[in-house]
Structures are given as structure tokens and as C-alpha cells.
Amino acid sequence: NAGVTQTPKFRVLKTGQSMTLLCAQDMNHEYMYWYRQDPGMGLRLIHYSVGEGTTAKGEVPDGYNVSRLKKQNFLLGLESAAPSQTSVYFCASRRGQGGSYEQYFGPGTRLTVT
């Protein structure tokens, strides 16, 4: 199993450009999450999905959109990138609603917006 994979690994955008980050998992997990990680701020939840076709907002959803058309994929979109969105983005998946289930993380996407 590849686990959780993220594409791309690195990206540089100019202000106002758009892009989509792809997350894929091969563990048949129901739940998927997008986080951003910034120095001194830990992990902050952007959006999440509790199943195919569902999405919901996390702590910091502004400026991002998501889609979960297939169970194994969770896409994060930036419609008009801003320098404040410079960050490292992590995708995670979780088997289901049980509290004992851990999250599995991807390797991250490092995004710079100039």
C-alpha cells in the first residue's frame, strides 16, 4: 500500500493564480482531511470529508475549496492564491468515526505564493 500520497510536492505560485492539490489514499478510508502547517501555529484544519460526495469546513476554510468525487481522492483548490497561503499542506485519512482510529498523513506539499 502506498498509504496517503500528495501531488505535487512543491509549488510556487504568483498572487492571483489558482491551483489544485491532490490527495489520494488506497486504504479505503471514509474520512479525509486537509491541514496547513505554519511555524509556531501547529496543524490547522482547513476542510474535511466524512465520505464520498461530502465536504465540510474546518478551522481555516477561507480562500480554499475542496471536492471528494471519489472515495480515494480529496482535492484542495486555491482559486486566487495569496501570500498568506504560503504554507505546508498535509492531507490525512482516517478509517472511520471510531475515536480509536488514528489519522494517516501524506508527505506534504510545500506551497509558496509570491
Interface residue with other proteins, options 34, 64, 74, 90 (CB under 8 A): 90
108 is a site residue for other proteins (CB under 8 A): yes
Bridge partner list, 87 = 111
What does the radius of gyration of the chain's CA atoms come to, in whole angstroms? 13
53 is a site residue for other proteins (CB under 8 A): no
28 is a site residue for other proteins (CB under 8 A): no
Residue 44 Cα distances to 52, 57, 69, 97, angstroms: 22, 12, 23, 20
Binding site for other proteins (CB under 8 A): 4, 31, 33, 41-43, 45, 48, 50, 56, 58, 90, 92, 94, 96-108
